């Protein structure tokens, strides 16, 4: 670990983090949290385990490189992943944790160095968790209806950003449960404020919105053109549900399972807390309108 990284503390500002890491971070936090496989060492292809299923055509143990991973850390079947039975790879997103671990936490080292591998594999999910929490906080800091929480969100985001530059040992000692609870309290409060405002603002647009409990089982449900304004869909099971043209303004989607959810023609610009992996898992088309922070999956092009 370089001396520059060791100077970072939880009180560091974003500018100080950039200086301490001896690297100019992107102006946009969103860009910083976007996976860049060119800057990684195939961590998701090695550290993670998966079982043969509809998403993966083979079994792979944690710490074992996928046999399609090449010496230059590129995927040998990247252009044909879905056709070759690796749909899960096209859904996965690391929020930029892979390149952060490779470039900064381990100063460009690789898991191919025996003394590095195990700790790198242990640090990767910790970094992923931190980056995911930062992703949600960044979204919260842009929501007008939650303006009262912007300062608290920004301060907590700065703290978590500083943590991402800790040494491997320090990262493994973090109390992730406590950090998760702190972030979740803010997100829950912000969600309530935004959803209440959305229902007030759009109450005459589509009649009375539907109401579901957190973690609702909506597998395969026909919700086409449904009024879901300000609905709490946290943790909802929306697998293969039809959400075409549904009104999702102000709907909270944290942890919602969108595998094969039909989002063709749906406007998602005002939906809360969506992630790239959720979008990657869904079915969409060129008429699906995404939030600015998210990219249109390549496999949607054929839809």
Highest CATH level, class, for 208-303: mainly beta
CB atoms closer than 10 angstroms to residue 95: 22
Q: What is the pLDDT of residues 175-217, one digit of tens each?
A: 999 999 999 999 999 999 999 999 998 875 556 777 888 899 9
Task: Quote the tokens at residue 289.
Answer: 């309108």
Task: Quote the tokens at residue 222.
Answer: 């026909």
Beta-carbon contacts of 135 under 8 Å, excluding residues fewer than 6 positions away, are: 30, 33, 95, 275
Residue 211 to residues 88, 251, 288, Cα–Cα distance (Å): 31, 10, 24
CB atoms closer than 10 angstroms to residue 209: 22
pLDDT given at position 211:
81
Torsion sign over Cα 56, 60, 61, 67? negative
pLDDT given at position 206:
57
pLDDT given at position 6:
43
Distance CA 182, CA 159 (A): 12
Task: Quote the tokens at residue 17.
Answer: 């983090």
- Are residues 65 and 142 in contact, defined by beta-carbon separation less than 8 angstroms? no
Entry pTM: 0.88
Q: What is the pLDDT of residues 86-99, one digit of tens each?
A: 999 999 999 999 99
- Are residues 40 and 102 in contact, defined by beta-carbon separation less than 8 angstroms? yes
Name 75's bridge partners: 69
Task: Quote the tokens at residue 45.
Answer: 């292809």
pLDDT given at position 20:
47
DSSP state of 25: -
Domain extents in the chain: 3-44+92-194, 208-303
Beta-carbon contacts of 210 under 8 Å, excluding residues fewer than 6 positions away, are: 223, 226, 227, 228, 231
Half-sphere exposure of residue 114: CA atoms within 13 angstroms, side-chain side: 0
Q: Which residues in the chain come in under a pLDDT of 70?
A: 1-27, 204-207, 301-303
- Are residues 106 and 116 in contact, defined by beta-carbon separation less than 8 angstroms? yes
């Amino acid at each position: 670990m370089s001396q520059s990284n060791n100077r970072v503390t939880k009180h560091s500002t974003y500018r100080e983090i950039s200086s301490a890491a001896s690297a100019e971070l992107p102006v946009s936090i969103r860009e910083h949290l976007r996976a860049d496989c060119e800057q990684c060492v195939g961590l998701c292809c090695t550290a993670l385990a998966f079982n043969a299923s509809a998403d993966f055509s083979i079994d792979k143990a944690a710490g074992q490189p996928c046999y399609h991973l090449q010496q230059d850390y590129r995927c040998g079947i990247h252009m044909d992943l879905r056709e070759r039975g690796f749909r899960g790879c096209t859904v996965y997103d690391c929020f930029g944790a892979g390149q952060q671990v490779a470039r900064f936490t381990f100063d460009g080292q690789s898991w191919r160095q025996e003394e590095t591998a195990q700790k790198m594999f242990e640090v990767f999910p910790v970094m992923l968790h931190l980056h995911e929490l930062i992703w949600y906080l960044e979204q919260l800091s842009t929501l007008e209806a939650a303006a009262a929480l912007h300062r608290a969100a920004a301060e907590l985001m700065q703290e978590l950003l500083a943590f991402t530059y800790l040494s491997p040992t320090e990262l493994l000692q973090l109390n992730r449960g406590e950090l998760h609870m702190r972030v979740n309290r803010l997100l829950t409060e912000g969600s309530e404020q935004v959803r209440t405002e959305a229902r007030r603002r759009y109450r005459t647009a589509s009649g009375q919105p539907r109401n579901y409990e957190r973690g609702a089982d909506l597998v395969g449900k026909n919700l086409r053109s449904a009024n879901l304004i300000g609905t709490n869909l946290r943790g909802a099971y929306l697998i293969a549900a039809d959400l075409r043209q549904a009104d999702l303004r102000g709907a909270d989607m944290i942890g919602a399972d969108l595998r094969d959810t039909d989002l063709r023609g749906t406007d998602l610009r005002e939906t809360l807390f969506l992630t790239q992996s959720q979008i990657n898992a869904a079915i969409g088309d060129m008429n699906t309108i995404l939030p600015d922070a998210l990219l249109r999956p390549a496999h949607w092009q054929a839809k």
